[in-house]
Every structure is written in structure tokens, then in C-alpha cells.
Amino acid sequence: MPLETPILKVSRPVAACSRCRNAKIKCDGKLPACSSCEKNGRAAECTSTNDQFARGKERSYVSTLETRIEKLKEKLEEARARKPSVVDMFEDDSAARRQSYQVQEPPTPNTPNQTKAMRRKEAATIDDLVSDFGFLSVNATARDFYGFTSAMSYARLVLWASSKEQLPTSMSQDLPPRYQSVSMIQHYLNNVFVLLPVFDEASFWGSVDRVYSRHPYQADAHDQYMVRIVLAIASASMSEQRGDQRYMEGIGHVCAALSHSEDVLHPGEIASIQALILLTEFAMLDPHHFDSWELIGAASRAMVDLGLHQDPPKGTAMPKAKLDLRRRVYHCVYALDRSTSLVQTRAFSFSDDSAKVKIPFSKPTSSAPTSPAPNTSQGLWLQTYEHVADLVKLRQIQSQWYTDLFQSGRTRWDEPYHYIWGTCDSMRSWFDNLSSSMSPNMRAFFELDLLYSYVYVLSPSPRVPVVHPFAQKLIFEYCIRYADLMLRIICDPGYTSPLTFYDAMRVYMTGRQFLDVLHQNIDGLLAGHVPAHPEVKPSTAAPPRMPVAALPPGDTVLRFNITRSISCIKQITECLSKFGIRWGYMSWNQRYQTETSGMLDELNSRLRNIDGATRRQSTWHHHGSTGSIGSSINGSLSYTGSPPALPPGQSLYQASPAVMQHTPGSMHANPVHQVSPPNATPGLVTTKNAPYPAHEDYSKDFDLTRTQW
């Protein structure tokens, strides 16, 4: 990396005076005036731009550090001069330190105890001053940095780099009544905070009390920012269409929050990182005004600068609350950075090897009660951290395989599937270990991420440029389930778990993978036979279980898979349409329709040919069907049996008298994962006995700038 080994360009003193340098003639550097200036009668004008260095190179890298050391020494001398009036070392670290302007009185005799106390005060003051030396830029790419000028600040720099469209000027939402704010804050805590607990909940409610206090001076800029940005996230998450009332309220609240940015966004403070994380969460819900990639990158760099990516050494005295805050801030940055990098196919801001932080969130033990109804008083006050522990674990697994398959090199692996099967098994085990008391909404949220991860890890990569037919079949099945579950969640008004702009990107990339595997192996995928899986070592984890689809009565495997493929493409199109309306990007849907038009024509042509032949003679005898794997109850999709037990070429479909709707649930448990009737009109969701309402297609579209997986 160029930045890891920068070339130190140290300026050397230039003896030539300004006149000789401009005339490009040799200067002997004679003092007080050079010979050339003396001959021309301009001895008084013989001066250099700087006594030591040339124009534009007044300070070298080394001299900058030397100058900084001299200034620090002067500060130490000043500190020694005012040591009788320094701040007491036992005061709270967060208290503002005020410079003393008292006149120093003549020293008085001190007792031994007073002398020791004064020495402790002096040592604490010196340590506080010297600690600021860590903020000095020592990288050659950013030398001579002495802070921002009056026209620029850290807050302005971050906001300028991360801004897309300018926020409306003079648009600020009035602070709503407290009862409305509490309702919106509780929505945020129940759906966003449970996954990214970036701040202490009790401290946040203290900020709310100060903001709504009768005395406005009690609330500082940090309190105002935190309350406003949380209200902005809550409003944006409840918005259904860009430009609606909730969306405009969110814009107003974020404008009010950013009015305090100069007092909140400071380098070297954990509170500043928390503010950036919350702004990143808002950017995921409003991609028009802010770039979440830039924001999480700034938060990651600030986090690393403070050393939050490493736990303090053993034996370091640190309050438990402060240590817990450091850890939770790190893991929130980690989760957002990994999620952002995956959907935007970019490199991580920092590697897993460089970090070592214990997870501060714990899941309840097996002996703990598993009732889905928590205590009312506790549920209204403090949230559980069970979900964030599950999310961090998934992000760690994703980070590992994304680094190995996409970021660590481009050399093709000879036997890649022993690694891929192990990765899939790790994600399956993670999902199986989710709490049984988890709400259906949160389980569906994690299931979507799991299906997306399956498709991602099985897709082509620099390490595995060619996908095996068995992996293509898995991608085919997982894409169908992902599209079906995503559409039902979008159409479910009771689904409250967060859906962000990242989900729109995931839908598009999943749809692209589905289209690619159809182009590569359409006959093999539609035929319905399971190819032989790649040979791996016996000690390797078994390949993922192939999902079992229930065959409707009187249907054939070929026709069934054709209708499923058509439905999947149209479900993805409808998801993109609804996301386009939600976030205002109206070209994604049109783009995907253009890309899939040829495949839809091919699938519809095959379906017409099969239906024409079926009218003359049935080619599938329902009661004579054999060769299924596992059992199927009420036509549900279930994960049964291990692929090695299924002979190559055998059908994986079982005839069933009825087919029920899909309900979000465990993919790997007993039959709870169901699909819509394939004999329904392709692309539409049948509403009979369905837990979620059906919606017609919209002819809307939205834009995508990064389409490659």
C-alpha cells in the first residue's frame, strides 16, 4: 500500500536569494547580501523567501516535528508556572478544563502530604498535555497540519465529503410534543437500536429530559444532536414514499441536528463517532443527501485513531461503563462497515486481523426464560442486546469469506468448495442457533440476510471464477426464496424491522445472479435434477442441503420450474418497483426489466409449448411419482436430508395435494418455509390463505450506479 510506506520528502535549505532564484542565476549565498546583488546595487533587496527554506517549502517534515516539540516544551513550562491552580486530577474526566488566570502568589512552606499532592497534580497535567501529541499528523502525506483554519473544520470537511444533494436551506422541523417524540424514539429503539446500540439508553433518555426541560440551557449541543438525529431516523424509517410527510419530517430533524455539528463532530472524541454512526443510519434511509460509504469510512478512521479497535491491555484501570461504551461503538462501526462494503463491493475500512475487541453483548443462557412476551416495564426502558450479538456474529462470518474470496487475492483456487461448504455450514449453524423466542419480524430480517449471503458466497469470485452446476442449482433455489420472502415483507404492513436502501441493492444483485445462472445452465436448472456435488475431502463439511419443493398435483417438474423462474423474475421486478417508489430511484426497475426481457420471452415460449402439449396428452402421472428426498407437509418447502444421500440425476420434487403460502421462519427447521402456488398467474401473489396481502406490479424504476457483484 502506498500510504503504508510513504516517501518522506524533506525540504533542504536553499541558499539562493529571491532575486537570483527568479533570474535563474547562480547565487553564492554570501551574507548579508550576495555578490550579484551587491554588483547591481540591490544589496538591501537581497532576501530569501525564508531564512531557511524556499517558497512553498518553508517547513520540512522533520523541522515540523521539532517545532511542535518546542511548542510542547513551552506549554510544559507554562503548566509548571500555574501548577497551584490546575484542575484537580480526581475530578470527572468529562468536565471542561478551564485555564487559570490567577496571579501566582509567593510560595509558602508545604507539608510532605501537600508536596506529594502537588506532584500528583503536576504529573496529571503534564500527561494531559502530552496526550494531545497523538493527534499530531506524522504521515508524510499530511504533514505540517496544525489544525483547521477559520474557514474549515472537521465537521464541515466530513459533511462536505459525504454530501450528495444539498439539504434544503432554512428547513428545520420544530421539536414535536414530548409524547410524540417518545413514541418515535420507542420505534427507533425497538427496531434499529436493538441491532446497533451505539449509545447508552439511560444516558440518551437523560438527553431527552434535558431537551424537553423548562430551562433550555440545560441541554447542550450533544443532547440536541442526539435527540434530533434519532427522531430523523425514526421518521425516515416510517416513510413510505420519498417526499411524504414522514420523509419531510426526517429531513427537518436532520437539518436541526446538523445545526449543532460544529459542536458535536470533533476528532478524537467517542461522542463524535457516535454522531457519525447515527448519521450513517440516516444516510441508509435517505441515499439522496448523504453517502453512507463516506460517513462510515470517516467513523472507521476516527475509531481507529482513538484505538477502539483494540481492547486496553490487561491491568489497565478503566471504568466498566467506559470500556463497555468503547466496545459497543466499535462493534456498531464494524457491523455497518461490513454491511456497506458487501453491498457496494468495496474494501473494508479495516481488517479483522488488526482488531481485537471483545463482544460486550451476551445472549440469554439456555436456562433463561424464553417467553416471547418480555416484562412490560423492562421492555419500555432498556432493550435486550440479543439481536445485536447475532448480527455481529453474522457480520464476522461475512467478513471472513468476503476477505478470502474477494479481497485477499485473484489467484484461482484448485479446490474451492471445501472452503465454501464450510462457510455455508457456519452460516447455517448461526441461523439454527437463533433464539426460539425471536419475533417473526426479526427472524425474517435475519433470514433475508442469510439467503443473500448464500447467493453471494456461491457466486463467481476471483478465487472461484467458474461456478459448479451443483452450486448453480443452490443459487437458483436460494434466489427464488429470497425474492418470495422479500416481496412478502415489503407488502406486510406489520413488518417493522428496518428496510434500508441496502436492501434495494441486495435485491438487484440477487436478481442479477438469478439471471446469470439461468443464462449459463437454463436446461439443467429447469429439468429439476440435482447435479453431483464437487468432490471434497471427507473431513470437510457436507455441502448445503438442497431445498425440497413440493410439486403441485398434475404438474410436471419442467413446467413447475419454468413458472417458478417467471415468478421469481417478476417478484424481483416488483420489489425494485416498490423500492424505487420508496427511495425515489426510478431506473433500477426499468433496467432489470430490460435485462430480463429476453429470458422472460424464452421462459414464456417454453411454457406455451408445454401447455400446448399437455392439452393433447398428460406427460406427468401424479400418483406414480417417485424419487423425492425427505418429506413435505402441506406442500411446504423443507430442508431435509443431506445431498450426498441423493443420487445424481434424481428428482428433488415431491407431489403434494396442496401448496400453502410462504411464511417467514427458519430455513433449516422442520417444514415452516412455504411458497405460493406455482399454478397461479406468474408474477402475482395469490391472496387466498396468505398471511401477507398481494400487490400488483408498478411500472416504476430507479437507478443503480454499482451493478457488478
Residues 38 and 78 in one domain: no
309, 327, 362 - which closes a domain: 309
Domain end: 259, 287, 309, which one? Answer: 309
What single DSSP character describes residue 356? B
Range of the domain at 13: 1-58
- Residues 123 and 199 both lie in one domain: no
pLDDT of residue 469: 95
Residues 435, 575, single domain; the answer is: yes
DSSP string, 216-263: GGGS-HHHHHHHHHHHHHHHHHT-SSTTSHHHHHHHHHHHHHHTTHHH
Under 8 Å between Cβ of 58 and 50: yes
Question: Is the distance from CB of 172 to CB of 256 less than 8 angstroms?
Answer: yes
In a domain, 706, yes or no: no
Question: Which amino acid type is present at position 229?
Answer: I
Q: Which three cell numbers mark 15?
A: 541558499
- Does residue 684 lie within any of the structural domains? no
Question: How far apart are the C-alpha atoms of 562 and 242, rounded to whole Å?
Answer: 36
Cβ atoms of 148 and 154 within 8 Å: the answer is: yes
Look at residue 434 and tell me if it is in a domain.
yes
Q: Is the peptide bond before 32 cis (omega within 30 degrees of 0)?
A: yes
153-187 b/e (C-beta count within 10 Å ≥ 16 → b): bbbeebbeebeeeebeeeebbebeeeeebeebbeb
pLDDT in the model for residue 635: 32
Can you give the pLDDT at residue 109? 54
* pLDDT for the residue numbered 48: 61
pLDDT value for 323: 93
Among candidate residues 169, 381, 161, 395, the one with its CA nearest the CA of residue 276: 161
At residue 617, the pLDDT reads 57
Residue 674 inside a domain? The answer is no
- The C-alpha atoms of residue 236 and residue 523 are separated, in whole angstroms, by 44
Verify that 15 and 50 share a domain, yes or no.
Answer: yes
The C-alpha cell that represents 172 in the structure block: 428545520
In the chain, the N- to C-terminal Cα span, in Å, equals 24
Contact in structure between 48 and 18 (CB atoms under 8 Å): yes
Whether residue 183 sits in one domain with residue 224: yes
Quote the cell numbers at residue 577: 418497483
CA dist list (Å): 330 to 197, 269, 277, 394, 430: 11, 13, 10, 16, 22
Q: Which residues of the chain have pLDDT under 70?
A: 1-15, 48-64, 82-114, 125-151, 363-383, 615-709
Contact 155, 302 (CB under 8 A): no
251 and 199 in a single domain? The answer is yes
- Residue whose grid cell is 484505538: 307
To 10 degrees, the CA torsion angle through 203, 208, 209, 215? 120
* Dist. CA 673–CA 505, nearest whole Å: 24
Which set of grid coordinates corresponds to residue 701? 424504476
pLDDT for 360: 87
Q: 346 — phi, psi (to 5°)?
A: -125, 170
- Beta-strand relationship, 549-551 and 653-655: parallel
- My answer on whether 177 and 140 are in the same domain is no
SS3 131: helix
Reported pTM: 0.69
Does 690 reside within a domain?
no
What's the pLDDT at 696?
32
Give the count of domains, the chain: 4
Question: What is the pLDDT, as a whole number, of residue 702?
Answer: 34
Q: Is there a contact between 236 and 282 (Cβ–Cβ < 8 Å)?
A: yes
Query: What pLDDT was estimated at residue 361?
Result: 82
Q: Is 321 inside any structural domain?
A: no
> The cell 449453524 sits on which residue?
429
Asked if residue 486 lies in contact with residue 685, where contact means CB atoms within 8 angstroms, the answer is: no
C-alpha–C-alpha distance, residues 229 and 193, integer Å: 13
The reply to whether 365 falls in a domain is no
Q: Give 535: exposed, middle or buried? Use CB within 10 Å, 0-12, 13-18, 19+.
A: exposed
Dist. CA 528–CA 550, nearest whole Å: 12
E strand or H helix at 304, and its extent?
A: helix 292-305
Q: List beta partners, residue 551.
A: 655
Contact between residue 501 and residue 583 where contact means Cβ atoms under 8 Å apart: yes
Instruction: Annotate 430-462 with DSSP letters as a single string.
Output: HHHTS-TT--HHHHHHHHHHHHHHHHHHHS--S
The whole-angstrom separation of Cα 170 and Cα 179 is 26
* Domain shared by 501 and 431, yes or no: yes
pLDDT of residue 110: 57
356 φ, ψ to 5°?
A: -155, 90
pLDDT for residue 239: 93
Residue 208 lies in a domain: yes
Return the amino acid letter for 671.
P
pLDDT, position 555: 87
Q: Are residues 441 and 303 in the same domain?
A: no
Same domain? For 287 and 141 the reply is: no
pLDDT of residue 349: 93
Phi and psi based region of residue 647 (left: phi greater than 0; alpha: psi -120 to 50; beta: remaining): beta
pLDDT value, residue 16: 78
**Helix residue ranges, H only, 538-681:** 557-583, 588-616
The pLDDT value given to residue 364: 62
* Same domain, residue pair 544 and 518: yes
Cell numbers 410439486: residue: 551
Q: Do residues 310 and 357 lie in contact, with contact meaning Cβ atoms separated by under 8 Å?
A: yes
| Same-domain pairing of 80 and 169 | no
Give the residue from 224, 291, 233 showing the smallest Cα distance to 259: 224
Q: CB–CB of 345/706 below 8 Å?
A: yes
